[in-house]
């Protein structure tokens, strides 16, 4: 006996969470034996009783419902996993324990005849230990940022005085704790065997890192991607129901060198397996496997979630016998019928208006409470001449119009939800007309700001939103409402572009002149014509508030023509850099009239 105990100490102190591993069940249990060596003899006796029960198999029970309470212990909001994530883990347990997982072994696989179905249903508890209605979820805010090795050895998350919360009556509930294990611990989860329930009820249950819990939300984050199918919990609940690791934890004096998981139909294994092995793996191994090798795809190995897909029939027998021997009070549980109280319809991005061209829109629903007994719903859509909907919530759009989508519970509660949706055919923008106050294109600096508008055509364009740009922005800027803010005198180009993907755009040139600049021509209809800047270094701008055709000539002070050109625009720029510095006369002929102005060339 002493020799065996020393072996436990060596194993425990040698592994001690020094490297990342899938399961810490053997470690925390060996720590318990280290603290209480008398457990060795007790467990040997318990194993003999269990094996006797397995041989008789007369007390096997199926179609059992186990109530689950999930204790969410969190320090940050990220760790406070959602109700939906909790439910996804319950769903995963029900698939895995009942061979309902879609990735189960195919009929032609060598191990297929050994696949078992336990007939157990897991559901979130509907009543707490005092009989009050509950969601089956508790939430505890803790000051602990992570749980270290000492926390695990003492099960601190299961006591309120050490940052956790007490478990519910472990004889009547499966207690699952979600926590953040410290990175140095390198652990995904651990559990206690049913044999310990009588002596250690206060620590009974399963503890899981929140990053490998369930199939939604935080499952798989921060490097835990291989463990995002909820099967760490499946593995640990296997321990909670009496299973050892597939390679056989060396717990009893009678164990072989290669280990024995106490299940007859699981092939002997040399040790734990990791990653995603390929069948057959280790055929004819040193521990006595046959040509099919080791059953690495068993939930009680250490492979990645996508590679573990089964319990064996022998494991099913062992678990049901463990329930009958050590967790008998679970047999007294009567599932409660929880009616649906509310349904929420979700659409992509919460939109209610969709372009007919998308063809299909996938809706989803949330049924509350999350532990409702029957969450099945029916979908309908009226009028069905506009769109139809199938029973997955997928809408097929037929034509433009509005529909009302209804989803209704099928549990007899008659609870329903409605959502109104609209479908349209997109009409693209094909023209934009920029409009200025009084259609002017010349504004004095003292105006400070200029409100622009835009006519978007066609008038029934689906998306008339525009973007505005002003260049250069050293002279003026423009906001996305089309309002220009004047900074200094000069000429700017305003561009407006559609945002519906048509890329239609238009530009308008606007002159900002000094307050002293006067018009050379004043006619009816508010005609305006000005030359600026004046004085100038090289360029002059002839600006009008309408499209005018005309001629420009520059004379020196003795009447010699130094420059001439024509123009046909509201904004006309001419380069006088070839002229020497001095005084000149600019002559503009437009609309049958001639206007002259003095020009200073710097």
DSSP letter string, 14-43:
HHTT-S-EEE-HHHHHHHHHHH-TTHHHHH
Residue 279: exposure state from Cβ atoms within 10 A (0-12, 13-18, ≥19)? middle
Kindly report the backbone phi and psi dihedral angles of residue 539, in degrees, each rounded to the nearest multiple of 5, phi listed first.
Answer: -100, 145
> Residue 224 contacts by C-beta under 8 Å, 6 or more apart in sequence?
188, 209, 211, 212
| CA end-to-end span of the chain | 110
Provide the edge-to-edge strand list for the sheet that holds 387-389.
360-362, 394-397, 387-389
What is the DSSP pairing of strand 120-124 with strand 64-74? parallel
Angle subtended at Cα 259 by Cα 257 and Cα 263, rounded to the nearest 5 degrees: 140
Under 8 Å between Cβ of 531 and 540: yes
Q: Which range is least confidently modeled, 118-122, 215-219, 323-327, 514-518? A: 514-518
H-helix or E-strand spanning residue 221: none
Q: So what's the pLDDT on residue 397?
A: 95
Q: So what's the pLDDT on residue 591?
A: 78
Provide the edge-to-edge strand list for the sheet that holds 449-451.
449-451, 483-486, 476-478
**Torsion, Cα of 410, 414, 417, 418 (10° steps):** 110
Percent of the residues in the chain that have a pLDDT greater than 90, as a whole number: 60
Q: CA-CA distance, 493 to 498, in Å (whole number)?
A: 17
Q: CA-CA distance, 86 to 216, in Å (whole number)?
A: 9
- In DSSP terms, which residues pair with 550 in a beta bridge? 567, 590
- Kindly report, residue by residue over 367-379, the tens digit of the pLDDT: 988 888 889 999 9
pTM of the predicted model, to two decimals?
0.61
Tell me the catalytic residues: 236
**What is the longest distance spanned by two Cα atoms in the chain?**
129
Structure confidence at residue 283 as a pLDDT band (50, 70, 90):
very high
Does the pLDDT of residue 533 top 50, yes or no? yes
Q: So what's the pLDDT on residue 226?
A: 95
CB atoms within 10 A of CB 425: 10
Secondary structure in 3-state letters for 309-347: CECEHHHHHHHHHHHHHHCHHHHHCCCCCCCCCEEEEEC
Helices 231-240 and 83-97 sit at what angle, rounded to 10 degrees? 60
**Residue with token string 């050379």:** 520
Mean pLDDT (whole number) for 310-330: 94
Under 8 Å between Cβ of 443 and 450: yes
Of 543, 545, 533, 544, the C-alpha closest to 576 is 533
- Kindly report, residue by residue over 482-524, the tens digit of the pLDDT: 999 999 988 889 999 999 888 899 998 888 888 877 677 665 5
Q: So what's the pLDDT on residue 521?
A: 67
Mean pLDDT (whole number) for 444-469: 91
Does the pLDDT of residue 568 top 90, yes or no? no
Q: So what's the pLDDT on residue 27?
A: 85
């Amino acid at each position: 006996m002493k020799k065996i105990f020393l072996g436990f100490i060596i194993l425990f102190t040698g592994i001690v969470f020094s490297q990342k591993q899938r399961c810490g069940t053997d470690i925390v249990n060996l720590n318990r034996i280290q603290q209480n060596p008398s457990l060795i003899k007790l467990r040997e006796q318990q194993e003999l009783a269990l094996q006797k029960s397995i041989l008789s198999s007369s007390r096997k029970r199926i179609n059992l419902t186990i109530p689950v309470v999930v204790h969410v212990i969190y320090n940050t909001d990220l760790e406070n996993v959602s109700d939906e994530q909790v439910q996804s883990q319950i769903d995963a347990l029900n698939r895995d324990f009942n061979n309902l997982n879609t990735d189960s072994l195919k009929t032609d696989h060598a191990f297929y005849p050994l696949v078992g179905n336990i007939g157990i249903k897991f559901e979130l508890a509907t009543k707490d230990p005092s009989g009050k209605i509950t969601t089956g979820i508790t939430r505890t805010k803790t000051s602990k940022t992570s749980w270290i090795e000492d926390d695990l050895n003492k099960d601190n998350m299961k006591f309120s005085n050490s940052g956790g919360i007490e478990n519910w009556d472990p004889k009547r509930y499966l207690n699952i704790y979600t926590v953040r294990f410290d990175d140095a611990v390198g652990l995904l989860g651990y559990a206690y065997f049913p044999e310990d329930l009588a002596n250690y009820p206060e620590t009974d249950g399963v503890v899981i890192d929140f990053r490998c819990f369930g199939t939604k939300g935080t499952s798989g984050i921060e490097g835990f991607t291989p463990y995002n199918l909820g099967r760490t919990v499946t593995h640990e609940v296997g321990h909670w129901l009496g299973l050892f690791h597939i390679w056989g934890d060396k717990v009893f004096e009678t164990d072989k060198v290669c280990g024995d998981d106490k299940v007859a139909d699981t092939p002997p294994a040399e040790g734990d397996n990791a990653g995603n092995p390929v069948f057959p793996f280790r055929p004819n191994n040193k521990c006595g496997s046959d040509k099919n090798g080791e059953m690495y795809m068993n939930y009680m190995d250490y492979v990645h979630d996508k590679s573990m897909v089964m319990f064996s029939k022998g494991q099913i027998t062992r678990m049901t016998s463990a329930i009958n021997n050590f967790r008998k009070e679970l047999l007294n549980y009567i599932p409660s019928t929880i009616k649906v109280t509310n349904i929420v319809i979700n659409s992509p991005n919460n939109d209610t208006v969709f372009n007919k061209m998308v063809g299909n829109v996938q809706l989803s629903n949330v049924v509350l409470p999350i532990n409702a007994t029957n969450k099945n719903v029916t979908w309908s859509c009226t009028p069905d001449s506009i769109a139809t909907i199938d029973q997955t919530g997928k809408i097929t759009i037929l034509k433009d119009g509005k529909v009302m989508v209804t989803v209704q519970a099928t549990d007899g509660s008659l609870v329903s939800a409605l959502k109104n949706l609209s479908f349209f055919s997109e009409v693209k923008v094909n023209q934009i007309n920029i409009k200025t106050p009084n259609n002017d294109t010349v504004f004095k600096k003292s105006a400070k700001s200029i409100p622009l508008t835009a006519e978007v055509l066609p008038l029934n364009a689906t998306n008339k939103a525009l973007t505005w740009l002003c260049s250069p922005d050293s002279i003026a800027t423009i906001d996305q409402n089309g309002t220009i803010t004047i900074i200094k005198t000069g000429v700017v180009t305003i561009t407006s572009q559609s945002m519906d993907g048509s890329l239609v755009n238009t530009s308008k040139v606007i002159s900002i002149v000094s307050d002293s600049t006067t018009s050379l021509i004043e006619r009816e209809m508010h005609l305006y014509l000005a030359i600026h800047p004046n004085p100038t270094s090289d360029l002059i701008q002839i600006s009008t508030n309408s499209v005018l055709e005309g001629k420009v000539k520059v004379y020196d002070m003795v009447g010699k023509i130094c420059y001439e050109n024509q123009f046909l625009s509201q904004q006309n720029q001419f380069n006088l850099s070839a002229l020497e510095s001095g005084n000149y006369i600019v002559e503009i002929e437009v609309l049958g009239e001639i206007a002259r102005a003095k020009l200073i060339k710097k």
